[in-house]
Structure 1
């Protein structure tokens, strides 16, 4: 946060995700946090849209020819940039094509912050603010919701 605000004159409170990685519960936490957004509190979530450590370790950037998580990245884009009703589908991330390949069961801790933020999004659709290909094989995306 020092990079965003070097004066460090804004209070920051860190909260943890739940150990259970229950997407519905994380979404509900976000809905509660939305109340703070009404008071101009910013909510940040960190993580990755793809986080399969076994596949990261096997990747050979010099020889990769195909992005492996296009379907799941498209799903995330659709739900995060859709309306509130569509966004709720993020709760079922593990039933989507490629979902469990991108975030194996028990290792979805890097996806849960996005689900919390989706719950805290309010009425407006989000927008994709970041897209990159990591190791020539894994598409990574970032999303943001604002009230403007």
Structure 2
């Protein structure tokens, strides 16, 4: 049995940097050995929950600009799994959640940057899923609940996004985190560890600096999905926390 994870994917440069966070992710991948990975990425938005469906190796999508050429030479040729895609489709149908399949899309950087650190050999099958940031948090949580059984089958569910993600407030090169970013995450971490769903679902109203930390929801909703897919009996665990460029959170939860 494997847990579910929420992982902040940070900047695309995470794929080539060597630092405390990248070493943490490498170590985490050595600890958790899944048969396959199901990953919800903040960089694939769709009104209908969309499931990648292929048995071939994915193309690597470079959905960013302004970074070094080295990043654009990296690939992550993990293979997909139509078997697991079909399993997901059935599980979501059982919960009344409409889905569709995508047989052509590659892995965006919300997926491959994280996976390249966790499983650098690209030898674990991957199924990538979209997010709909306009659904309320309780609906995101329900998406996770629909696939709660996957951990028992050694399929690792990952929500890849960010807690504090406001590109307009990035402070390039700043190593000390902004006070407001820390205060938002302090609140969020406390509520997650308490599994205080009532407060989490109302984070926009209750969390300090919520609009500043989460100007748009696409990077936070993978947290609710991963939380919903986790164990009913385990207490959520904060595995890692740091910041880059003043406001960009590097947080990882285990559920």
What TM-score do the two structures reach when normalised by structure 2? 0.48
Give the strand-richer structure, 1 or 2. Answer: 2
Question: In structure 1, what is the Cα distance between the partners aligned to 2:199 and 2:167?
Answer: 25
After superposition, residues 1-148 of structure 1 pair within 5 angstroms as 1-56=115-170, 59=171, 61=173, 66-83=178-195, 86-87=196-197, 89-95=199-205, 96-104=207-215, 107-123=216-232, 124-137=234-247, 139-145=249-255
**Structure 1 stretch displaced more, 131-140 or 21-30:** 131-140
**Structure 1 length-normalised TM:** 0.78
Report if aligned partners of 1:45, 1:114 keep a CA contact under 8 Å in 2: yes
Q: Aligned residues, how many?
A: 139
> 2:78 corresponds to which residue?
none
Whether contact under 8 Å (1:81, 1:125) holds in the other structure is yes
Does the Cα contact within 8 Å between 1:131 and 1:139 map onto a contact in 2?
yes
CA contact (8 A) 1:61 1:137 kept: no
Which one has the largest radius of gyration?
Answer: 2
Moved over 6 A (4+): none
Structure 1 CA distance, aligned partners of 2:161 and 2:217? Answer: 10
Structure 2 spans left out of the alignment, 5+ residues: 1-114
CA contact (8 A) 1:27 1:91 kept: no
Cα RMSD for the two superposed structures = 2.5
| Unaligned stretches of 5+ residues in structure 1 | none
3-state SS of paired residue (2:238)? strand
- Change in CA separation of 1:71 and 1:4 when aligned onto 2, cut-off 3 Å: closer
